[in-house]
Amino acid sequence: MVVTAATLLCVYVPVLNESFLRVLFGVAMVLFVPGYTLIAALFPVRDDLMVNP
């Protein structure tokens, strides 16, 4: 949620909109976050699969 909030700030605040932070957070949101979510869904930790230990 912090990365999303930082990305939104870099897009909508005029001072940050012209900085390199917009590119940095934008690339992270487009490439890293969806990839991490996909890998976490495809390969869960063994403890995440157990319903009742």
Banded model confidence at residue 52, pLDDT cuts 50, 70, 90: low
- pTM for the whole thing? 0.59
Q: Let me know the angle formed at the C-alpha of 31 by 42 and 26, rounded to the nearest 5 degrees.
A: 145
Residue 20 has, within 13 A of its CA and on its CB side, a CA count of 0
Note the pLDDT tens digit of each residue in 37-50.
899 888 887 776 66
Task: Compute the average pLDDT of residues 26-45.
Answer: 87
Distance CA 10, CA 4 (A): 10
Count of domains for the chain: 1
Q: Are 15 and 9 in contact (CB under 8 A)?
A: no
Instruction: Identify whether 50 is part of a domain.
Output: no
Instruction: With a cut of 70, say whether residue 51 has pLDDT above it.
Output: no
Instruction: With a cut of 70, say whether residue 14 has pLDDT above it.
Output: yes
Model pLDDT, residue 38: 92
Instruction: Identify whether 36 is part of a domain.
Output: yes
Instruction: Identify whether 49 is part of a domain.
Output: no
* Measured torsion, CA atoms of residues 28, 31, 33, 37, in degrees rounded to the nearest 10: -170
Model pLDDT, residue 49: 65
Provide the domain limits for residue 11.
2-43
Instruction: Identify whether 23 is part of a domain.
Output: yes
